[in-house]
Structure 1
Amino acid sequence: MKAIGILVAILLISCSAYQKAEYSQQSNLITLIKSRCRGKCPVYELNINTEGEALYHGISNVTHKGLFKFKLSKVELDKLQELFIELKFQEIKLQQKTKYRDVPYTTLKYKGKSHYYRSSWNSSPFKGIVEKLDELIQENVSTSNKKKHHKLTSMLLNE
């Protein structure tokens, strides 16, 4: 009977530790998704929630593949939000998706509003924001995060 009690206590402790390490998508603020093409286009997804927690998933043709979690400072998060506000992201109207072959799309979401555009458009109003998000990925997702990466990947894969 003692063994069962100890086992239950261990499970409760490990579950509560897991919940703390988990990324909360319920409070997603910003999402950046780069889609596939037939060539060597980078494919990844970045989600940032209202707490500044970021979850990067490198899928293919990227330097860092797998899941990486990092935290933005309040200043970094505020600066990102200012970029969206200055751009008037919620008010922008773009053309709908066109059916060209082999041209990847970039999806950018902010506070539930989504915009899809061709990554090759040099005149995109979102270019500055996407470049800033790419900088944050490069600064925070690195080989120094390898231990966190393997732990997070294995935790998410075992769900």
Structure 2
Amino acid sequence: MKTLVLSVLVLTLVSCDASTKEFIGSSWRITDLVKEGKSIPVANEVTLFIKSDTEFLLKLDRNSCFGTYEITGKDGIKMLDLGCTKICCDSEFSLAVVNALSKVSKINLNKDRVTLSGENVTVKFKKELKASNRIKMMQKDKKIIVKDEGSRQNGKISSNGKIQRPNESKEKVAYLPSENFIMLYKSPCKGSCEEYQLKILEDGLIYYTGESNATIKGRHRVEIPAKDAMALYTAFEQVNFNSFEDNYINERLMDLQYTKLTFRGKTIKIRGRDTAPEKLRTLLEKVEEQGKIVLEKLKNK
């Protein structure tokens, strides 16, 4: 896995006269991106995690970026190196975010909102709900080893914000935080099964990705009432989702579509509903029903 080292401004979500301690372990999700006066639709989730008073992590749709930050002046932020894992393939929106951040020079923090701005760019974030839960999850980070195998080109930043380093190879540790979401994945099959994925967050934001044979393809974002999302989370907690087995597979149905249901890091694979317990089937039906609502919203856009 290659590491791209980006000379990019580091995101800091504190003013110079505020205590950084209250922000350690908090997380912020991107809500708006404007480049050269043009608003770019948020196509997928991009989240910033404040790991400590000097470290942060930026989670894209595929890769994770990590680095350090430092406050500069009243409303400025200092530019430092940002390292990103390189797993194929981040969306155009994620790449646009990284590119935009390299041009940011000011920060404006207002309670649960933060705006990062610079020459011809504005990036806005919203603080995620239940930050206390995020703090606990940040303490349970999973470590992965990534290789730094780039090459420097005269010490200059390329058009996409990347710096490549020649003849360098060293290991770095990237921290991938545990995630707090509900995810439904439907696989392809030998027939015309729709392959798609739903990622449901606690505040009602849903990220949909349609793949092969999907009625609606590509990455999209929709929103449902927060109470409906929380009702789903409550349903998962009430049935003790972690108590179920990891697989419920009917071996005689290998050519049929399978389903993956994920909640707070645990994933269950199901092929053949009759193999799953009744409580799990009921839970799956609730998530699938939400999926139908999402598809209707997308069709009506």
Aligned position for 1:106: 259
Aligned position for 1:71: 223
Aligned residues: 133
1:91 to 1:17, Cα distance in 2 relative to 1, 3 A = farther
2-side partners of 1:65 and 1:47: how far apart?
A: 15
2-side partners of 1:64 and 1:56: how far apart?
A: 9
**Is 1:29 the equivalent of 2:181?**
yes
What SS does the corresponding residue of 1:81 show, helix, strand or coil? helix
After TM superposition, the structure 1 stretch with the greater mean CA deviation from structure 2, 88-97 or 106-115, is 88-97
Q: Is the 8 A contact 2:180 2:264 kept in 1?
A: yes
**Is 1:137 the equivalent of 2:137?**
no
1:104 to 1:22, Cα distance in 2 relative to 1, 3 A = closer
Identity of aligned residues (%): 26
Give CA deviations for 1:67-122 in whole Å, capped at 9, x if unaligned: 2211121211111012111221012124476766313221111001111111x223
| Match of residue 88, structure 1, among 215, 240, 256 | 240
Letter in 2 for 1:108: L
**Structure 2 length as normaliser, TM-score?**
0.38
Letter in 1 for 2:187: S
Letter in 2 for 1:80: L
Higher strand share: 2
CA shift, 1:123, in A, is 4.8
2-side partners of 1:134 and 1:51: how far apart?
A: 18
What SS does the corresponding residue of 1:60 show, helix, strand or coil? coil
What SS does the corresponding residue of 1:61 show, helix, strand or coil? coil
After TM superposition, the structure 1 stretch with the greater mean CA deviation from structure 2, 89-98 or 78-87, is 89-98
Aligned position for 1:57: 209
Letter in 2 for 1:136: Q
2-side partners of 1:108 and 1:46: how far apart?
A: 10
Aligned position for 2:282: 128
Q: Is the 8 A contact 1:48 1:55 kept in 2?
A: yes
After TM superposition, the structure 1 stretch with the greater mean CA deviation from structure 2, 67-76 or 15-24, is 15-24
CA RMSD of aligned residues (A): 3.0
**Structure 1 length as normaliser, TM-score?**
0.67
Higher helix share: 1
2-side partners of 1:94 and 1:19: how far apart?
A: 36
Q: Is the 8 A contact 2:246 2:267 kept in 1?
A: no
CA shift, 1:22, in A, is 4.4
* Structure whose CA Rg is larger: 2
Whose RCO is larger (CA < 8 A, sep 6+)?
A: 1
CA shift, 1:38, in A, is 0.7
CA shift, 1:28, in A, is 4.7
After TM superposition, the structure 1 stretch with the greater mean CA deviation from structure 2, 64-73 or 21-30, is 21-30
2-side partners of 1:86 and 1:123: how far apart?
A: 21
1:39 to 1:88, Cα distance in 2 relative to 1, 3 A = same
| Match of residue 47, structure 1, among 192, 199, 202 | 199
After TM superposition, the structure 1 stretch with the greater mean CA deviation from structure 2, 22-31 or 68-77, is 22-31
Note the residue ranges of structure 2 that are not aligned, 5 or more in a row.
1-32, 48-58, 60-178
